[in-house]
Structure 1
Amino acid sequence: MNISLKGNSGCHQLCTMWADVAASMLYAFGSNGRGQLSLGHLEDAHTPTPCLIPSLLPSVPPCVIAAGGNHTVLLFPSGECFAAGDNTGNQCCLPSATFPSLTAFHPISSYHRWEHVSAGWSFTVLIDYEGKIFVSGKGQKGELGLGEDRHDALLEEIADFSPRKVIQVVSGMAHTLLLTASGDVWGWGAGRKGQLGEPTQSIVSRPRKVEVGFPVSKLDCGKDFSILVSRDNPQHIAILGNDRYRIGDSLASWSGAEILDIQASWNGVYLLETSGTINAWGKNDKGQLPPPSLEGITDIAVGSEHALAIAEDRTTKERKIITWGWGEHGNCGKPGGGDVIGEVFSLDIPAPRNVRIGAGCATSFVWVEE
């Protein structure tokens, strides 16, 4: 699952310190059984907790948090990457076991910089500024895109595949999609539910073009489905793959305003409109869908079965960070843990103009610059 940190807009030797570089703070809460929150331990955090960070971590906010099943990768505007969590399959792009605190992993060369990153359950996909695609991790369903006999890799390039300028990469639990500047989509990994288009294949072990019938402007991956927005008609949104909650029917009848953002959870789709409202469809047994009364939403970050948002009062302009949905691991920030159903929970964290939010697999992140 790939999460851009939302807002208005290396070294193997880890030297940790509390995150106060350049008057900024990175908080994390939720599932942490493999150290993916970078807290220095392996216990879940039920309330926002300051992360441990390496001393060389950039002082600017990361542009992307890629959250896998039990690992997290932060990509910074400088092209540097830092990872934390489970690395038993090299999904943290390093040859070691578990990293309970963020650790830098070296680029391929001294001039090498990453431009895009995504993470699936036990793998990571990285794209450099030359458009070369690298994979790291493990998977039995073609997740690495290296061919049908390859189930593990450590920062290995997908050879003989270099599409034109890539503008987005996203991963679900076991499949990945690339979006190019021309609006073309390429994908690989698990395809049994049709999430990689036609023809349906259980395993797509090498990148193939996904035929959708229109140029795409934005996309995202759910657990076993894909969501794609038309570049020519932003109100035309296609869903490929498992649609057990009939999201496609809802999208077909949706006649909303301009879309500010679109994201997918494991089993849902969330549209943030420029009006500040959210339209969402999908699974809702744990309150995954937002209360209908929400307004003044400026940013949203959707995780596996929960979400964070920034809400602004239209009169006072006061801003707050809210959460809702499945919160068993504390990923909604509610003291003691627990789901937030039919309402929202307000975090006790300031929400200045430059606050950033992120959400992953039962994990949540907030970057605050004061």
Structure 2
Amino acid sequence: MTFKMTALYAWGANSHGQLGLGFVSEQVLEPMRVEDLPDNLCESSIKDIYGGGGHTFLLTNQGKLYGAGWNISGQVGNGTQVRAVPNFESIRGLEDHKVVSVACGWIHSVALTSRGQVWVWGSNSHSQLGLPTNEVPFSSLPICLDISEAVSIAAGLRHTVIATKEGRVYSWGQGQKGQLGHLDTEGKMIKTQTTPRVVEPLEMKVKKVACGQNTTYAITNEGEVLAWGDNKWGQLAHDPVNVSFFTCPLTIPSNYFGGLRAVWMQAGWTHCAVGLSSGQIYMWGRSDYGQVGPVEEEETDEASAQISKTPGKLQNSRYRYVPSCLRLDNIRQVVCGSEHNLAVVGTPEKKKKLMSWGWNEHGNCGTGNTENVYKPVSLSLEGDLKVIGSGSGHSFALVKLL
């Protein structure tokens, strides 16, 4: 009889214990197995992995949540403010709720439950929890917001966005780059929104939201992509020479995606990935670390390596504002860190592979060094790849071992 085991691997920045390895270190350059998990957490039950600036969450099929890492403002949610939590611990206050999704900001956390409730914890320094800062400067335990029927949540550096069952979008927190999408009565940009507020006008109903560092994205029921906020690196799919930021939702032209519907979206700090109904994945935004993949004009690895070394050699060498198709065969999934990516590639007939590329200062690409990765590379992990996840500068993979 063959017994199957499941193993969780982690690598990258670990200065706050965000890898859950039981210790704090500057970095882990190659995938390392997470051995010491809570007794009631079985690796095979892990459904999703989420990361923030320096903290991480594991979400199980049963809707239970476990956190580790940077906790100076209580963003791990274990009821303390101990600076680092080096092992995964159960999140307090959500034991009687089934969590279905999590979003992490730099230093705050958000959870969505099966009942459509939104729970927040961590730092509230810029009202990113949706609560008055003078009343709640931070929280080390989840607080339920007065919002019902939420279906999608997202967190940027210091702002939070949700979509509801009715297709409305609410946002709050910091908005100095227009990422909240709110204007005052005089038509001026609102730089801080203390409590959740509907983004208006929004003519189309939204079903999914995502956040970059200071940018917000949404997918409508019709599969169109909306974007607003910072555009320094072309994150809005508009030339940053002409548009530095925008305070109202802009529709990204569907012809950029071949007229196809967007199905899902992932956002890094300054780049974005969208999955289409065809299965293709398009990326755009900042590219000087190679985070959006090699540009179409490049034919060799040598050319790819010159992206950030010879500004101006290639058009938009530091950014790409026109989305382009990611050149990987049989892509099944992509997740974005702050400036790096992980992808699952493969077919049902072939073993799935884990690919990584982009910024690698903390070893978050898992290549064994800290050199940026300008072209997707394959990481060697034995077993059947099941789940991938990333934080700002750290990465995870769950594999089933034969």
TM-score class, shorter:
0.7 to 0.9
Aligned partner (choices 38, 42, 47) of residue 30 of structure 2: 47
Unpaired runs of at least 5, structure 2? 184-188, 239-251, 297-326
Greater CA radius of gyration, 1 or 2?
Answer: 2
* Match of residue 133 from structure 1: 118
* Match of residue 151 from structure 1: 137
Number of residue pairs aligned between Structure 1 and Structure 2: 342
| Conserved 8 A contact 2:105-2:156 | yes
* CA deviation after TM superposition for structure 1 residue 260, in Å: 4.4
Letter paired with 1:267: T
* Match of residue 33 from structure 1: 15
| Conserved 8 A contact 2:126-2:192 | yes
* Match of residue 62 from structure 2: 78
Q: Aligned partners of 1:36 and 1:366: how far apart in 2? A: 14
* CA deviation after TM superposition for structure 1 residue 62, in Å: 2.8
Aligned partner (choices 233, 238, 244) of residue 232 of structure 2: 244
Structure 1 stretch displaced more, 207-216 or 301-310: 207-216
Aligned partner (choices 205, 215, 218) of residue 215 of structure 1: 205
The answer to whether the aligner puts 1:328 opposite 2:310 as a matched pair is no
Please give the residue correspondences for 1:4-43 in structure 2 after superposition, counting only pairs within 5 Å. Answer: 23-43=5-25
TM-score, normalised on structure 2? 0.79
* CA deviation after TM superposition for structure 1 residue 274, in Å: 4.7
Letter paired with 2:400: E
Q: Aligned partners of 1:130 and 1:277: how far apart in 2? A: 32
* Match of residue 277 from structure 1: 280
| Conserved 8 A contact 2:157-2:212 | yes
Instruction: Specify whether residues 190 and 204 from structure 1 end up closer, same or farther in structure 2 by C-alpha distance, changes over 3 A only.
Output: same
Instruction: Specify whether residues 313 and 155 from structure 1 end up closer, same or farther in structure 2 by C-alpha distance, changes over 3 A only.
Output: closer
Q: Aligned partners of 1:83 and 1:138: how far apart in 2? A: 16
Q: Aligned partners of 1:275 and 1:134: how far apart in 2? A: 34
Instruction: Specify whether residues 301 and 351 from structure 1 end up closer, same or farther in structure 2 by C-alpha distance, changes over 3 A only.
Output: farther
| Conserved 8 A contact 1:117-1:126 | yes
* Match of residue 338 from structure 2: 304
| Conserved 8 A contact 1:145-1:158 | no
Q: 1:272-321, CA deviations, whole angstroms, 9 ceiling, x for partnerless residues?
A: 3354433211101111112353222111111110001112269x634311
What is the alpha-carbon root mean square deviation over aligned residues?
2.2
The answer to whether the aligner puts 1:226 opposite 2:216 as a matched pair is yes
Q: Secondary structure at the match of 1:254?
A: helix
* CA deviation after TM superposition for structure 1 residue 346, in Å: 0.6
* Match of residue 254 from structure 1: 256
Q: Aligned partners of 1:106 and 1:198: how far apart in 2? A: 33
Instruction: Specify whether residues 183 and 60 from structure 1 end up closer, same or farther in structure 2 by C-alpha distance, changes over 3 A only.
Output: farther
Letter paired with 1:99: V
* Match of residue 186 from structure 1: 170
Q: Aligned partners of 1:336 and 1:91: how far apart in 2? A: 29
Q: Secondary structure at the match of 2:236?
A: helix
TM-score, normalised on structure 1? 0.86
Letter paired with 1:366: A
* CA deviation after TM superposition for structure 1 residue 337, in Å: 2.5
* Match of residue 87 from structure 2: 101
Q: Aligned partners of 1:260 and 1:222: how far apart in 2? A: 18
* CA deviation after TM superposition for structure 1 residue 144, in Å: 1.5
The alignment-based identity, stated in percent, is 30
| Conserved 8 A contact 1:271-1:280 | yes
Q: Aligned partners of 1:155 and 1:318: how far apart in 2? A: 41
Aligned partner (choices 190, 199, 206) of residue 201 of structure 1: 190
* Match of residue 372 from structure 2: 339
* CA deviation after TM superposition for structure 1 residue 104, in Å: 1.1
* Match of residue 348 from structure 1: 380
Q: Aligned partners of 2:88 and 2:331: how far apart in 1? A: 30
Q: Aligned partners of 1:290 and 1:275: how far apart in 2? A: 19
* CA deviation after TM superposition for structure 1 residue 78, in Å: 1.4
Instruction: Specify whether residues 249 and 333 from structure 1 end up closer, same or farther in structure 2 by C-alpha distance, changes over 3 A only.
Output: closer
* CA deviation after TM superposition for structure 1 residue 50, in Å: 0.5
Unpaired runs of at least 5, structure 1? 1-20
